[in-house]
Amino acid sequence: MPILVFVETAEGKIKKTSLEGVAYAHAMGGPVTAIALGDVETAELEGLGKYGASKVLHAADPKLNKGIIQVYASVLSKAMQDEQADILIISNSSLGTPVAARVAVKVGASLAANIVSLPETTSGFVVKRSIYSGKAFAHVELKNQKKVLVLRKNAADIKEVGAPVKVTPYSVSLSDADFAVTITSAELATGEVLLPEANIVVSGGRGMKGPEHWHLLEDLAKTLHAATGCSKPVSDMGWRPHHEHVGQTGIKVAPQLYIAVGISGAIQHLAGVNSSKYIVVINKDAEAPFFKAADYGIVGDAFEILPKLTEAIKKAQ
Amino acid sequence: MKILVCISHVPDTTSRINFIDNNTKFDTAGVQYIIGPYDDYALARAIELKESTGSTVHVLNVGLADTEPTLRKALAIGADEAIRINAEPTDSFFVASQIASQAKANGYDLILMGRESIDYNSGVVHSIVGELLSLPSVSPVMKLDIEGNKAKVAREIEGGKEYLEVNLPFVAGCQEPIAEWKIPNMRGIMSARTKPLKVVEPTTIDGGVKLTKFELPPPKGAVKMVSADKVEELVTLLKNEAKVL
Ligand SMILES: Cc1cc2nc3c(=O)[nH]c(=O)nc-3n(C[C@H](O)[C@H](O)[C@H](O)COP(=O)(O)OP(=O)(O)OC[C@H]3O[C@@H](n4cnc5c(N)ncnc54)[C@H](O)[C@@H]3O)c2cc1C
Ligand SMILES: Nc1ncnc2c1ncn2[C@@H]1O[C@H](COP(=O)(O)O)[C@@H](O)[C@H]1O
C-alpha cells in the first residue's frame, strides 16, 4: 500500500521540508505517492521522483492556489481513499499541521505531530515525538490502521534515490462548505530564507542594542545564506517582526547551525533552539547561560566580532 | 456572545523536565503549574471581548482535580464560569473530543484556545475540535476582531501574515500579540472563589495513540571556546569539525 505524502509549495517551488517528507516515506519502505495542490511548476513535481516518489499527483484546480485548511483537508482525505493509502505524511507548517489534524479526524487515523525520526515497527508502530517545547521526547504507539504523521524538520535526510517521474493530474470536486474561510490578503517577506526552513540561523538578542545594528547580523546571514531570528524581547520591542521570534513561545528551529549573538540563553529561548545540530554563542559575558548549551563560543563584543566573522567566512568560501 | 476558552494546565516555562517510574511518568516534584502561555493570550482576548461586547466567557480544562487552582486563576482573570472534564489529558484526540462534546451541549459563538500547549505541544486540538464540530478552525491567530457575525483575523504564516474573514462560530488557536496577558487583581481573586466550577465526567473515547515511554535528550558536551581575536579559528572548526559551512 502506498504512503501518501502531502507536498507543500511556496511561490511555485516545493518546500524543502516536503522533500524530507518524501525521503521519510521512502525510508519507511514506500511505495511513495506524493500529492501537490494548486499552482506549482511541473518540473518541480517531476523532480520528486529523484527523492523517492514513484507516483506524483497534482490537483491543479486554481481554487487550490490559496491554502485553505478545510479545503486541503477534504482533498487529502479523499486522496487517501482513492490511493488506498493507510499512511499520510505531512511536514509541520502553519498549513500542514492543521490540515493533518482535520484529515486524521475525517479518516479515523491515529495522529502524531512533531515527529523527529523514522518509526520503530518491531512491536507495533511507534514514533518518537518532541514534547515540552523540545525539552523531552515521547515514544507513542499509533494503533489505528490509518495514521497521519506530522514531521518536524530534519526527521529524515533528503537523498537522491531515483529518477524524475511523470505527473498524474488529480481531479477534485470541491464543496462550498469548505470555503467558509476567505483569505483576503497576505503580507510576505520575499527573497528571504524562511526561518523554519533554514539550514543556518543567525539570531540576535537584546545585546544588539537596537534595530539599527541588525545589518551586522544580516550581513553575516547573507554570507551564510542563513535566515535571521531573534529573542522574544527583541520582537516585543518591535526591533524585528514577530515571525522571527525564536523560543518556547515563538518559532522552534532545528537548523544545522544556530548562531546566537547577544542572547543570554534564558530557558525559554533554549527551548526553541535545542534541536539545532550545532550552536555558536557570541556574548560579552563569559557567565551567560547560553554557553552551557553551546558547541562553540566566543566571549567578546558583538559589534567587533560580527564584521570580522563575516569577513573570515567570505575568505573561507 | 458566548465564548469558550480552553486552557491547558502546564509546567511553568522555566521548569526542568524529568521523568520517573522508568521513564513512564512526568516528575511533578518542584514543578509550578500555570495556564498555558498561549491559552493565557486566548483568555485575555476573550475577557477584552467580554468587556467590549458584553459576552459571557466559560473556561474549560480537561484534567484531574489538581488543575482546579489553574481554572480558579482563569476565573480571577475574569471568566464567568469554569468547566473541568475529569480525566487525564492523555492525547490530543481524547482532549479535543471532550471539548467538542461540551461545546456541542452549550452552543458557543466562539471557541478560543492557544496555538499549542507547551507540554504535548502538538498544535492540533483546535483543528480537531473544528473538524469534530464541522466548524472552521484558524491558528495561529495574532489579531481577532469581531464585527457582528463576522470575524476578521490575522494568522501568522511562515515569513509573514495572512488576513482572513470567517463567520461565527469558529475555533481559533491564539498567540501574541492578540492581547496582553492579564494578571488577576484582588477583587477578581475574591470573586473567583464563588464563581461556578462545574465538574463533568468524560465520555469514553480512544484516540488510537498510546504512550510507551518518555526520553530526555542526551546532555550536551562541553563548549569549545575560541578567542575573540581569532575568529578564523571558529570558521575552521565550523568547516572541518562540525562540517556545517
Ligand atoms: C512565559 C515566558 C515565555 C518566554 N518565551 C520566550 C521565547 O520564546 N523566546 C525568548 O527568546 N524569550 C522568551 N522569554 C523571555 C526570556 O525569559 C528572556 O527574558 C529573553 O530570552 C532574554 O532575551 P535576550 O537574551 O535577548 O536579552 P537579555 O537577557 O537582556 O540578554 C542580553 C545578552 O546580551 C549580552 N550582551 C550585551 N551587550 C553585548 C555586546 N555588545 N556583545 C555581545 N553580547 C552582549 C549580555 O551579556 C546578555 O547575555 C519568555 C519569558 C516568559 C516569562
Ligand atoms: N487538557 C486540556 N484542556 C483544555 N484545553 C486544552 C488541553 N490541552 C490542550 N488544550 C487546548 O488546545 C490548545 C492546543 O493544544 P495542543 O494541540 O496540545 O498543542 C491549547 O493551547 C489549549 O488551548
The string of pLDDT tens digits covering residues B47-102 is 999 999 999 999 999 999 999 999 999 999 999 999 999 999 989 999 999 999 99
**Which atom of ligand 1 has the smallest separation from the CA of A301?**
42
The string of pLDDT tens digits covering residues B167-208 is 999 999 999 999 999 999 999 999 999 999 999 999 999 989
Residues of A in contact with B212 (CB under 8 A): 126, 139-141
Are A101 and B128 inside 8 Å of each other by CB?
yes
Listed residue (B84, B223, B190) closest to A299, CA to CA:
B223
Contact A99, A72 (CB under 8 A): yes
**CA–CA separation, B157 and A248 (whole Å):** 17
Asked if the C-beta of A179 comes within 8 angstroms of chain B's C-beta atoms, the answer is: no
Residues of A in contact with B211 (CB under 8 A): 138-141
- Ligand 2: list residues with CB < 6 Å: B 6-8, 36, 38-39, 60-63, 89, 92, 95, 113-114, 116-117, 120-126
**CA–CA separation, B222 and B230 (whole Å):** 20
**Is any ligand 1 atom within 6 A of the Cβ of residue A284?**
yes
| Continuous H helices in A127-166 | none
- Tell me the pLDDT band of B220, cut-offs 50, 70 and 90: confident
Contact B101, B201 (CB under 8 A): no
Listed residue (A13, A35, A10, A42) closest to A172, CA to CA:
A35
**Which atom of ligand 1 has the smallest separation from the CA of A206?**
26
**CA–CA separation, B120 and A132 (whole Å):** 6
- Tell me the pLDDT band of B159, cut-offs 50, 70 and 90: confident
Nearest ligand atom owner, CA of A264: 1
Residue tagged 471539548 (cell numbers): B99
> Which domains, ranges and CATH numbers included, belong to chain B?
2-217 (3.40.50.620)
**Which atom of ligand 2 has the smallest separation from the CA of B128?**
17
Chain B, 133 to 192: residues with Cβ < 8 Å from chain A are 134, 136-140, 142, 155-167, 170, 175-177
Q: Per-block average pLDDT, block size 10, for chain A (317 residues)? A: 94 91 95 97 96 97 95 98 98 96 98 96 94 93 98 93 96 94 90 85 98 97 96 96 90 94 96 93 98 97 98 94
Of B158, B175, B177, the CB nearest to A93: B158
Percent of chain B with pLDDT over 70: 100
Which pLDDT belongs to residue A146? 97
Report whether pLDDT(B115) > 80: yes
CATH of domain A195-316: 3.40.50.1220
**Is any ligand 1 atom within 6 A of the Cβ of residue A52?**
no
Taking the centre of ligand 2 as the mean of its atom positions, its distance from the CA of residue B141, in whole angstroms, is 15
Specify whether the backbone of A225 is left (phi greater than 0), alpha (psi in -120 to 50) or beta: left
Taking the centre of ligand 1 as the mean of its atom positions, its distance from the CA of residue B178, in whole angstroms, is 22
Domain boundaries, chain A: 3-179, 195-316
Distance from CA of A26 to the nearest CA of B (A): 23
At residue A16, φ and ψ (nearest 5 deg) are -60, -35
Cα nearest neighbour of A113 on chain B: B122
Whole-number Cα distances in Å, B213 to A274, B22, B117? 20, 8, 19
Cα nearest neighbour of B224 on chain A: A296
In CATH terms, the superfamily for domain A3-179 is HUPs (3.40.50.620)
DSSP B191: H
Asked if the C-beta of B244 comes within 8 angstroms of chain A's C-beta atoms, the answer is: yes
Listed residue (A188, A190, A213, A186) closest to A202, CA to CA:
A213
ipTM summary value: 0.94
Taking the centre of ligand 2 as the mean of its atom positions, its distance from the CA of residue B111, in whole angstroms, is 12
Strands lying side by side in the sheet with A147-151: A167-169, A53-59, A32-37, A3-7, A87-91, A147-151, A110-115, A126-131, A136-142, B209-215
Which pLDDT belongs to residue A317? 87
At residue A77, φ and ψ (nearest 5 deg) are -70, -35
Asked, colleague to colleague, whether A3-179 and A195-316 share their fold, the answer is yes
Nearest ligand atom owner, CA of A297: 1
Are B160 and A100 inside 8 Å of each other by CB?
no
A-interface mutation test, from B157, B170, B213, most A Cβ less than 10 A away: B157
- DSSP states along A20-37: HHHHHHHHTT--EEEEEE
Which pLDDT belongs to residue A68? 95
Taking the centre of ligand 1 as the mean of its atom positions, its distance from the CA of residue A209, in whole angstroms, is 12
Cα nearest neighbour of A296 on chain B: B224
* Amino acid found at A177: A
